[in-house]
Amino acid sequence: MRQEKRVQMNKTKINIRGLVRLGGLFLCCLLLYNCQKPLPQARGLRTDLMRNADYVGKNGFEQPIDLNDQIVSNPVYEIAKVRTKTPLFHWILDPQSSASVAYQILVSSDQSRLAKNEGDLWDSGQVNSSLFSALYQGLPLQPNKMYYWKIRYWEKDKTPTQYADSQAFVLDPSPSGTQFSQEPLRAVDQKATLFKKSKGYFIDFNKAAFGKLRMQLFATKVDTLTVTVGELKDSKEWAVANLGGNIRYFKTQLVLKPGTHWYEIEWPEDHKRARNPFMIPMPDYIGEVFPFRYVELNNYEEELNTDQVIRTLVHYHFNEEASYFNSSDPILNQVWELCKYSMKATSFLGYYVDGDRERIPYEADAFINQLSHYAVDAEYGLSRGSMKHLLFNPTWPTEWTLYTILMAWYDFLYTGDDRFITKYYEELKIKTLMDLADDSGLISTRTGKQTEEFFTRLHKKNWGNNNLLRDIVDWPQKNPPGGYTDLEDYIGSEKEHPGENDGYVYETYNAVVNALYYGALRYMKHTATYLGKTDDAAFFELQGERVKKQFLITFQDQSTGLIKDGERTNHHSQHANMFALTFGLIPDENKAAVLDFVISKNMSCSVYAAQILLEGLFDHGGAEQGIALMAATTERSWYNMLRFGSTITMEAWDRRYKPNLDLNHAWGGAPANIIVRKMMGVEPLTPGAQKIKIHPKIGSLSTAELKTSFISGPVRIKCEQSKTAYRLELHTAGGVQADVKIPAVYGSKQLYINGKPSNLKAKDGVFHLVDFPSGSALLEVK
């Protein structure tokens, strides 16, 4: 019996061993799978829109130390401080997640408690919401005190994720709610390429930047060295070019002491700029900066290496990895890089300013800067600070005030944060300039309605000889001194008229001003609708309809359908027609004629108005022409800025069109946002970009590839087309839905989604996929 039992037991052991082996193999595979696929986790945490709320700097340089209570109370360091008692928290879903249905936020005064998942200041509990943001609702926060927060969320199947890595933050000593949180400016040391020349050196930092210059030099005795810095190189020799005007050039004598020493160049003071009360000064912890690319050393024959010549570049934090673009057109690629870098280089003040000449925020400049900055980097602090400044410091052009409303809407659309439009809603209503409207519904600056009461409501301060708003249309308006001197210079060339306004005729009622006014009313309707102000929304809609009707009565040429500049002229400018087209005033039956007219004028506007021109072209069937203008190599092109020698977008197409231009004007960077928003067609559809659109219009390009980033996460798309197929690869962040349109350019051929045929039929020349899920996908028409 014992022997039989022993045999049975051995057989059982063999079976168990076999099962264990099989089970072990399965378990190993399962464990391996789980190891390869970690639990989802939120990422990209922001505190009050700041990506680096725990930043520590000293004289602009990031310090390799963690934020702590000692640093917070030490004035030697610069730290990012939250300027509200109820900060807004943002996060990005894990790429594995298709959606979230709830979240839980913990805020603690102690990092060790947070590590134990204890929120002593706020434990939100499980909040049923699909949003990727939430306002703080815990115990009162104290100024100059360290806090820590983290978040987890629940996916569609009600499974909680692991908690995200925590982020630290500090409350500002005086959180008033009237200021907006911003990170400190950054300083980064850069090296250059050195060229030895007779009795000196020529030094190239590759691109122009706002910064400081220091050098380690040797002398056997007291000696004098000539140092020249500037933005441009002489075309004929190894020397810094001195073209005068506002193209920066500085020459100074440096007295050397015996031995080896470090010397920092002291920049000249711009007295004219300093006297302007609207100028934004550099912060004390940075000091003065100067825009330059090249350095020339004369009368210096000692050995010099790249470690001894340092430029300290100053800019607002910029994520180089947030965007990229590449296409089959090498010129377009260069224009993209020019415009992208310009957003970084011109952020040196922490505000959107008009360049080095004045260093003043202007609304139109800031609007283009905002959109282009959003396109190349998901950064929102500069826009907030600039909007707040301009709200209470408006400038002189009539149209510029209206751009304040557009900026406020796009700030909300991209961030999902309604605090600005909520707090300043009544101020934004005033910025519509409805005070200047008459019984017809149109507005005018020439009908006696600019009163002292109006200036007070607008927060208007004196500019020049008077306080009046003045219609600008484009800039410069007339032939500038030192530019073109003969009307024959224009005829048969790239434009027809002097100035940049295409011969615009200014009347009492201005078509460009009223087209932008109509656009502002539409944006105010959107704003009022979101804020639940239904009566206001209905009012703005009614006013808009009234303005549109009167606009066409007053400005439309009934024989051609084109738009006239004013009520008493028969002149049709590119500006009157492109503003009306872009802001939605052209009836459907006249769009083709207006589009053809606008296209026929080529680039008859300035770098500023090119923003409106390109938007209108892409939105109304002129994508091919829009791409051609961005990739043009004519004098009035972005490529000409590179040919001129600039590495930052210029204030004008060429010095001939504006002799006092500067070479560091972000308002010349429209292609950065046009390529992203209009050509590649990637824009938010809902506030906070939890739903986006992807509507590419790449014309005849064979390939175009883009990465852009929203507050909800990065988006990557790649378009390829040939004579037989159209291919669209897309990658969206976790939980971000997309509205996708893929051109049906190959007749009735089939749409394939991830290799499988789709039953979707093309309509109006496109395959339209609504609520396309997040993640990666391949769409093909073949």
List, for residues 717-749, the tens digit of each pLDDT value.
999 999 889 999 999 999 999 999 999 876 668
Contact by Cβ (8 Å): 441, 521: no
Interatomic CA distance for residues 280 and 594, integer angstroms:
41
Interatomic CA distance for residues 192 and 473, integer angstroms:
42
> Which residues have CB under 8 Å from 469's CB, separation 6+?
396, 397, 398, 401, 433, 436, 445, 450, 460
pTM of the model: 0.93
Interatomic CA distance for residues 358 and 278, integer angstroms:
9
List, for residues 647-661, the tens digit of each pLDDT value.
999 999 999 899 999
Residue 684 clears pLDDT 50, i.e. is over it: yes
What are the helix (H) ranges across 601-669?
610-619, 623-630, 638-644
- pLDDT of 677: 98
Contact by Cβ (8 Å): 608, 667: yes
Q: Which one-letter amino acid corresponds to residue 424?
A: Y
How many C-beta atoms surround the C-beta of residue 393 within 10 A? Answer: 15
- pLDDT of 13: 43
List, for residues 260-317, the tens digit of each pLDDT value.
999 999 999 887 787 888 899 999 999 999 999 999 999 999 999 999 999 999 999 9
> Which residues have CB under 8 Å from 113's CB, separation 6+?
120
Interatomic CA distance for residues 118 and 112, integer angstroms:
9
> Which residues have CB under 8 Å from 34's CB, separation 6+?
none
Nearest CA-CA partner of 705 in 691, 726, 685, 719: 719
State which H helix or E strand residue 229 sits in: strand 223-230
As a whole number, the mean pLDDT across the chain is 92
275-294 b/e (C-beta count within 10 Å ≥ 16 → b): eeeebbebeebbbebbbbbb
Q: At what angle are helices 363-376 and 330-345 packed, to 10 degrees?
A: 110
Q: How many helices (H) and strands (E) does the chain have?
A: 19, 31
Structure tokens at 142: 């104290």
Contact by Cβ (8 Å): 463, 452: no
Most confident of 156-160, 452-456, 520-524: 520-524
- pLDDT of 405: 98
- pLDDT of 477: 85
State which H helix or E strand residue 719 sits in: strand 713-721
236-250, 403-417, 515-529, 575-589: least confident range: 236-250
The strand pairing partners of 742, in sequence order, are 767
List, for residues 218-235, the tens digit of each pLDDT value.
999 999 999 999 999 998
List, for residues 480-508, the tens digit of each pLDDT value.
555 444 444 444 467 778 889 999 999 99
- pLDDT of 657: 92
List, for residues 453-479, the tens digit of each pLDDT value.
999 999 998 776 678 999 999 999 876
CA distances from 240 to 44, 585, 645, 653, 664 (A): 43, 49, 12, 22, 17
- pLDDT of 2: 38
Residue indicated by tokens 């922490």: 350
Q: What share of the chain is helix, strand, coil (3-state, %, to 5)?
A: 30, 25, 45
Nearest CA-CA partner of 635 in 429, 448, 493, 438: 493
Residue 8 clears pLDDT 90, i.e. is over it: no
Average pLDDT over residues 93-105: 96
* DSSP conformational letter for 103: E
- pLDDT of 17: 46
- pLDDT of 762: 92
Structure tokens at 194: 């050195």
Residue 113 clears pLDDT 70, i.e. is over it: yes
- pLDDT of 116: 97
